[in-house]
Amino acid sequence: MTRKKVLVTGGAGFIGGNFVQYMVNRYPNFDIYNLDLLTYAGDLTKHKNIESKDNYHFMKVNIADHHAIIPLFEQEKFDFVVHFAAESHVDRSISDPGVFVRANVLGTQVLLDAARAVGVTKFVHVSTDEVYGELDFDPDTFFTEETPLQPNSPYSASKASSDLLVRAYYETYGLPVNITRCSNNYGPYHFPEKLIPLTISRVLNDEKVPVYGDGRNIRDWLHVLDHCSAIDLVLHDGEIGEVYNVGGHNERTNLEVVKTIINTLGKSENLIEFVKDRLGHDKRYAIDPTKLELLGWKPTYTFETGIADTIEWYLENKEWWEQIISGEYQGYFAKQYSL
């Protein structure tokens, strides 16, 4: 039997990187191709442990470069595509929306064309709950797959646009697709510009933690490995053409998250510094994951177990995040936080 080829785009990033590890180890009979441009958010040191494995392959390519992508698909004839590659940080999208349109919208369209040209078995598009816009603070309201798309940031607008293209390629050409829309992830190899790793790294260095506005905005946190198992399930068992929301009912205010990290590390809450609010800051995200649960998915982490493991990981892997925050990140941080 020929081995199945799985193309993972964005596999040098946070979630894609965890997914590549998950797939390489779980499916020795699948060939896993990690395709990534290695932007500021991509790094391959996280794959040192698998780079010599026979079923792991890496390619440095821009998904928006159709001169590279189309011939690559024609040559490799991938069976499955799991598409993570994207610009992913809301604050960067507010400063520079154009990069997000090129990577997230045009990049997805090029991949869809390539997938269509070779007739892949399935294309899983990894999206976000942020495409639904925001919820108010009523704890009984949730995003379902039927919630209208009302993105508020350039990032979520670019992701919603890519979701609509994926849907259109299913409706128009019958491309076999699924879309997953997950809540906020956290866990190992999370780039320290995002709230949780930013807080852990700064608290460990006794530096102030910037909290936007009054800190009452709510996010629904999911451990990255629970996201990986959800995507694996959708890849294998998702009904063609369907959207699946992914989330584990772990709503926390930003202030709760920051205080949990500070208290776990035994530091002072005086490290919290309230700063100017993010423009268009979405109030609350919360996922109803019933449809995915009916497919058989169950998360394994609670927020408490997941955040404890994650803090432990950042303590044990200082060299990984220290090399990031000592580089060009410093310029980003100074500009973003007006220091």
The residue (of 175 and 230) whose beta carbon lies closer to ligand NAD is 230
**C-alpha closest to that of 9 among 257, 282, 231:** 231
The reply on whether position 211 binds ligand TYD by CB under 6 A is: yes
Q: Which of residues 118-177 bind ligand NAD (CB under 6 A)?
A: 126, 128, 159
Burial of 29 (0-12, 13-18, 19+ CB in 10 A): exposed
Residue 188 contact, options ligand TYD, ligand NAD, none, Cβ 5-8 Å cut-off depending on partner type: none
Under the binding rule (CB under 6 A), the answer on residue 12 touching ligand NAD is yes
Q: Which is nearer to ligand TYD, 122 or 125 (CB)?
A: 125
| Encoded tokens for 322 | 């220290």
Nearest to 238 by CA among 108, 125, 118, 84: 125
Q: Using CB under 6 A, which residues numbered 274 to 333 contact ligand TYD?
A: 278
Please select the residue that binds ligand NAD; options are 4, 25, 30, 39, rule is CB under 6 A. 39
Q: What phi and psi values does residue 315 have, to the nearest 5 degrees? A: -70, -40
| Inter-helix orientation angle 318-325/195-204, to 10° | 100
Encoded one letter per residue, x for contact with ligand NAD by CB under 6 A and - for no contact, window 81-120 reads ---xxxxx--------------x---x-------------
Taking a C-beta distance cutoff of 8 angstroms, is the pair 209, 202 a contact?
yes
Is the Cβ of residue 55 or residue 153 nearer to ligand NAD in the bound state?
Answer: 153
* Least Cβ distance, residue 320 to ligand NAD (angstroms): 13
109 binds ligand TYD, rule: CB under 6 A: no
- Distance between CA 85 and CA 114 in Å, rounded? 15
Which of 87, 44, 40, 35 has its CA nearest to residue 63?
Answer: 35
CA angle 205, 208, 212 (to 5 degrees): 135
Total binding residues for ligand TYD by CB under 6 A?
12
Structure tokens at 13: 């990033």
Residue 58 in 3-state DSSP?
Answer: strand
Nearer to ligand TYD, 237 or 277 (CB): 277
Neighbouring residues of 160: CB distance < 8 A, sequence distance ≥ 6: 131, 149, 151
> Which residues in 22-81 contact ligand TYD (CB under 6 A)?
none
Catalytic residues: 129-130, 155
Q: Is 152 in the site for ligand TYD (CB under 6 A)?
A: no
Q: Nearer Cβ to ligand TYD, position 50 or 272?
A: 272
**251-253 and 177-182 as β-strands: parallel, antiparallel, unpaired?**
unpaired
For residue 162, the SS3 value is: helix
Selection from ligand NAD, ligand TYD, none that 219 binds (CB < 5 to 8 A by kind) is ligand TYD
Minimum separation from the CB atom of position 19 to ligand NAD (A): 9
Told to check if 16 binds ligand NAD by CB under 6 A, we report: yes
Mask 170-189, x = binds ligand TYD (CB under 6 A)? --------------x-----
List binders of ligand TYD among 213-252 (CB under 6 A).
217, 219
DSSP 31-67: EEEEEE---TT--SGGGTTTTTSTTEEEEE--TT-HH
Residue 47 or 159 having the CB closest to ligand NAD: 159
Quote the crossing angle between the two packed helices 318-325 and 329-336, to the nearest 10°: 70
Structure tokens, 221: 């946190």
CA distance 107 to 65: 7
Contact residues toward ligand NAD (CB under 6 A) are 10, 12-16, 36-39, 41-42, 62-64, 84-88, 103, 107, 126, 128, 159, 182, 184-185, 191
Contact residues toward ligand TYD (CB under 6 A) are 90, 184, 194-195, 198, 210-212, 217, 219, 254, 278
